[in-house]
Amino acid sequence: MSENPSQESRDRTESAVGCLLAVVGVAVAGAFALHRAAYSIDGGFEAHARDWGVILVDLPLILFAGLVGPPLTWAAAIRRLRPWAAALVCAVVAGLALWGLAAWWHPRQAPDPGYGPGI
């Protein structure tokens, strides 16, 4: 029995890692974005500050980027690099994407610390 895995086994492993990265990417993007957009979704007192643009446009695009970005980065990196280096590239790209999102996207937040959801 050969110690080297077959090409088909390597392809399946690379595909499974890509699927796993898609699930992890959408989970991380969702956790990051939903935490920041919580006030825009809730709307504060009597939902007067609900922002439908955040709910219908921003969040779906962020989740889509989290779903598609990591597997595409993995697919591009695995063609030229070893698997550990491709995983490192994916982590760096995801970190830069979240940093860029934090720097650029500022959904509405509560007006002041004492302003709560009401009684």
Q: How far is Cα 77 from Cα 87, in angstroms, rounded to an integer? A: 8
Q: How many domains is the chain built from?
A: 1
Q: Which residue has the higher pLDDT, 51 or 112?
A: 51
pLDDT for res 33: 92
Single-letter residue type at 111:
P
User: Does residue 32 belong to any structural domain of this protein?
Assistant: yes
User: Does residue 40 belong to any structural domain of this protein?
Assistant: yes
Give the 3-state secondary structure of 25-91.
HHHHHHHHHHHHCHHHHHCCHHHCCCCHHHHHHHHHHHHHHHHHHHHHHHHHHHCCCCHHHHHHHHH
Q: Are 21 and 67 in contact (CB under 8 A)?
A: no
pTM, 2 dp: 0.79
Give how far Cα 36 sits from Cα of 13, 29, 33, 68, 89, Å: 35, 11, 5, 21, 26
Q: Residue 94 pLDDT > 70, yes or no?
A: yes
User: Does residue 3 belong to any structural domain of this protein?
Assistant: no
User: Does residue 116 belong to any structural domain of this protein?
Assistant: no
Rounded average pLDDT over 79-85: 91
User: Does residue 37 belong to any structural domain of this protein?
Assistant: yes
* Average pLDDT taken over every residue of the chain: 85
Residues ≥6 apart with Cβ < 8 Å to 33: 58, 59, 62, 63, 101, 105
Domain that holds residue 94: 13-104
User: Does residue 113 belong to any structural domain of this protein?
Assistant: no
Q: Residue 119 pLDDT > 80, yes or no?
A: no
Q: What is the pLDDT of residues 15-60, one digit of tens each?
A: 899 899 999 999 999 999 998 888 788 877 777 778 888 889 999 9
Cα angle, residue 83 at apex, residues 85 and 67 outer, rounded to 5°: 90
User: Does residue 26 belong to any structural domain of this protein?
Assistant: yes
Residue 66 CB-density burial (10 A; 0-12 exposed, 13-18 middle, 19+ buried): buried
